[in-house]
Amino acid sequence: MRTIFVLLGAAGLAFSACEKSSAPTTPPSDGTAGSPGDGTRGSAGDAAGGGDTEPGAPGVEWADKTDKQRKEYMGLVVLPGMKTLFQAHDATTFGTFKCETCHGKSGKDNGYEMPNESMYALDKADPIKGAMEYDEKVTKFMMEQVTPKMAEMLDSPVYSPETPNGVGCFTCHPAG
């Protein structure tokens, strides 16, 4: 449950800056050679031993992806997946869903690092209790939908005491 709340925050911020159509596309280029959107394909040699790979390197684990592959994967898989999920939950609030929704307005400047310090801070001792008191509907959405979906997309377990490195509340939210 803790994991879902964290994932929602991360997913929301990650997408607020990267508004895209629902059709998967390669993320826009930042103007550097080999950047997403420049027409080149990612090289698995950066993480998996050479040769061309699909944009976002879907067969490469998140921890082993290069920065370029991570950005591509976020734009091609995570952003559209979370955008659909959030807009189905609340089309008005999440009508414009971009990278910044999860990563914050300074996401690009801080390398899209998470957790996002501009997100709602959660009580380190009991993040679910405090989140439920703050907004029960959103907390349940995070726990039941966002966290498991993010964990699935990142091919990671959901946080639990047995899987402390899994996707959870503090994947996206700072501890308060």
pTM above 0.95, yes or no: no
Produce one character per residue of 59-73: b if its CB has 16 or more CB atoms within 10 Å, e if not.
Answer: ebeeeebbebbbbbb
Q: How many helices (H) and strands (E) does the chain have?
A: 7, 0
Per-residue pLDDT tens over the stretch 122-174: 999 999 999 999 999 999 999 999 999 999 999 999 999 999 999 999 999 99
What is d(CA 69, CA 78) in angstroms, rounded to the nearest whole number? Answer: 12
The ranges assigned to domains in the chain are 2-172
